[in-house]
């Protein structure tokens, strides 16, 4: 049996690449969630007017990877104290957000973030809420880092996050 968690940690290309390394993650789909516009396009989400964040929907095996390990990666790949911004990616579409499907996950997520707060000087601004609806992103966003590893954004922004995850987490199939 698998579980689901939707993670917004800035650009979804980064999140997809990082979570793709984690043992126990069965599938990763980049998309949009947390807003009000139905079936938004990437161009619409980029305006910030839809209320959606760039996210990845993770399907994972909790017997292989507990939600807390997924949250470790979440904190590793972005700054949860940065409101509506990750590096040069600015706007509500890049906000820090965790969307759960299973109501039992909410207290685990909140407890995890409360404990993690002691490692940060500024308040964690990660939004935690129940997933209402997830919209898959356009096909060209899937496996972006794998398909475009030499692009400047991939080299400058994504690759260092991947290296960090590889150094700090048990990765592999």
Catalytically active residues are 11
CB atoms within 10 A of CB 156: 11
**Could you tell me the two tokens for 63?**
């017997």
Helices then strands, each counted (H, E), the chain: 7, 8
Judged by DSSP in three states, 166 sits in helix
In contact, 14 and 161? CB cutoff 8 Å? yes
In contact, 28 and 71? CB cutoff 8 Å? no
Compute the radius of gyration of the chain from its Cα atoms.
15
In contact, 24 and 4? CB cutoff 8 Å? no
């Amino acid at each position: 049996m698998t579980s689901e968690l939707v993670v917004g940690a800035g650009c979804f290309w980064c999140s997809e690449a990082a979570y793709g390394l984690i043992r126990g993650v069965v599938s990763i789909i980049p998309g949009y969630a947390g807003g009000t516009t139905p079936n938004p396009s990437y161009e619409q989400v980029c305006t910030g007017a839809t209320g959606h964040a760039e996210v990845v929907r993770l399907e994972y095996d909790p017997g292989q990877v507990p939600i807390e390990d997924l949250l470790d990666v979440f904190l590793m790949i972005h700054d949860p104290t940065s409101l509506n911004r990750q590096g040069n990616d600015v706007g509500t579409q890049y906000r820090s957000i965790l969307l759960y499907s299973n109501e039992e996950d909410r207290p685990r997520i909140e407890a995890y973030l409360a404990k993690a707060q002691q490692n940060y000087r500024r308040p964690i601004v990660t939004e935690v809420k129940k997933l209402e609806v997830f919209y898959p992103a356009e096909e060209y966003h899937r496996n972006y880092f794998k398909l475009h590893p030499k692009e400047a954004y991939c080299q400058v922004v994504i690759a260092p996050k991947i290296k960090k995850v590889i150094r700090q987490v048990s990765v592999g199939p």
